[in-house]
């Protein structure tokens, strides 16, 4: 009997530890798509802190650098507008990471009380839309995939640009690149889309949606703007390519100017050796080097000159 009671106590204690684990209890992403193609996003993230990873605050990683279909860098715009905790303004810093930005929310001098807290992060981001032949689309990673604790529930509300109506939508859940579909659509009519997850996510799992609408409701970038942006995103690459091109042009120009042999003029045969050149000198001019045969005519010529004196 005592063993049974002891086991029950341990089980209840373990259950209490699991219940007290740090986690995201709710993640809501509200996205408004402007006619200028920019997004204004408000994330409301409810967490439970136990003084482990969530001690002074949270950090939200936001990818800003991708690869396009040509293998070039594609960098989206990102600007934090405001951050709140439990309804009050909260200090934050934005730092660069390998593929984007990290928002570190909280103060180094302030430790959070254990228990629930609600964070609100509002930001603006650009270059997020896809422009296709007969529709435009937002492919949106709602939660990100870098959280190191579970997400019990995630939800997104997407407001389409003025006048647009939903044409198509899709939902994906799980690790990066997964095609799981543990989500349900609450609304997908008119200009409003709303969907939520149907299970708890493990660390590094996320929620992604794709929503499309007919063309003509957002302004796509012009070809000139796309080219300018591609150059800005890949300055290092284009600097190397440009440097190589300039070097090749320089050496090609120099070769045309001084590297090529001058054109040959009219060649007139001469039947008398040049003045001052004996047989050995003539052989040197012909062969462009001295050899054993060069010395023989030179010695013969010298003997003839001595004999003549």
Could you tell me whether strands 192-197 and 183-189 are parallel, antiparallel, or unpaired per DSSP bridges?
antiparallel
How is residue 138 written in tokens? 């937002």
pLDDT range class, residue 257, cuts 50, 70, 90: confident
- DSSP symbols for 176-211: TT--B--EEEEEEETTEEEEEESSPBPTT-EEEEEE
How is residue 60 written in tokens? 């939200």
pLDDT for residue 19 is more than 50: no
**What tens digit of pLDDT does each residue of 50-103 get?**
999 999 999 999 999 998 888 888 999 999 999 999 999 999 999 999 999 999
pLDDT of res. 295:
58
151: DSSP letter: B
pLDDT range class, residue 20, cuts 50, 70, 90: low
**What tens digit of pLDDT does each residue of 170-200 get?**
999 999 988 899 999 999 999 999 999 999 9
pLDDT for residue 168 is more than 70: yes
What three-state secondary structure class fits 51? coil
- Domains of the chain: which residue ranges? 21-220, 221-260
Rounded to whole angstroms, the Cα distance separating 186 from 180 reads: 18
**What value does the mean pLDDT of the chain take?**
85
**What tens digit of pLDDT does each residue of 121-140 get?**
999 999 999 999 999 999 99
pLDDT of res. 167:
97
**What tens digit of pLDDT does each residue of 106-122 get?**
999 999 999 999 999 99
Rounded to whole angstroms, the Cα distance separating 294 from 85 reads: 98
Q: What are phi and psi of 188, to 5 degrees?
A: -150, 50
Share of the chain above pLDDT 70, in %: 77
Share of the chain above pLDDT 90, in %: 61
Residue range 21-220, CATH number: 2.60.40.1730
Residues 155-171 have a mean pLDDT of 97
């Amino acid at each position: 009997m005592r063993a049974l009671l002891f086991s029950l106590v341990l089980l209840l204690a373990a259950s209490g530890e699991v219940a007290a684990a740090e986690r995201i209890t709710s993640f809501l992403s509200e996205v408004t798509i402007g006619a200028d193609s920019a997004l204004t996003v408000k994330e409301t993230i409810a967490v439970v802190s136990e003084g482990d990873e969530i001690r002074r605050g949270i950090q939200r990683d936001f990818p800003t650098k991708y690869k396009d279909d040509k293998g070039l860098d594609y960098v989206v715009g990102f600007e934090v507008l405001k951050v709140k905790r439990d309804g009050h303004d909260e200090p934050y810093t934005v730092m660069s990471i390998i593929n984007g930005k990290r928002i570190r929310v909280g103060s180094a001098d302030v430790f959070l009380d254990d228990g629930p807290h609600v964070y609100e992060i509002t930001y603006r981001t650009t270059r997020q839309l896809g422009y296709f032949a007969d529709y435009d689309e937002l492919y949106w990673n709602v939660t990100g995939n870098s959280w190191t604790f579970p997400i019990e529930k995630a939800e997104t509300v997407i407001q389409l640009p003025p006048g647009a109506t939903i044409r198509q939508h899709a939902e994906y859940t799980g690790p990066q690149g997964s095609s799981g579909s543990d989500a349900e659509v609450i609304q997908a009519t008119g200009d409003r889309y709303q969907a939520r997850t149907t299970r708890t996510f493990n660390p590094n799992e996320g929620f992604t949606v794709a929503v499309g609408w007919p063309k003509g409701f957002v302004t796509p970038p012009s070809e000139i703007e796309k080219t300018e942006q591609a150059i800005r995103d890949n300055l290092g690459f284009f600097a190397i390519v440009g440097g190589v091109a300039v070097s090749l042009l320089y050496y090609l120009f120099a070769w045309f100017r001084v590297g090529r042999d001058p054109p040959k003029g009219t060649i007139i045969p001469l039947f008398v050796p040049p003045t001052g050149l004996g047989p050995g000198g003539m052989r040197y001019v012909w062969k462009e080097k001295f050899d054993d045969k060069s010395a023989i005519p030179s010695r013969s010529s010298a003997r003839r000159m001595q004999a003549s004196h």
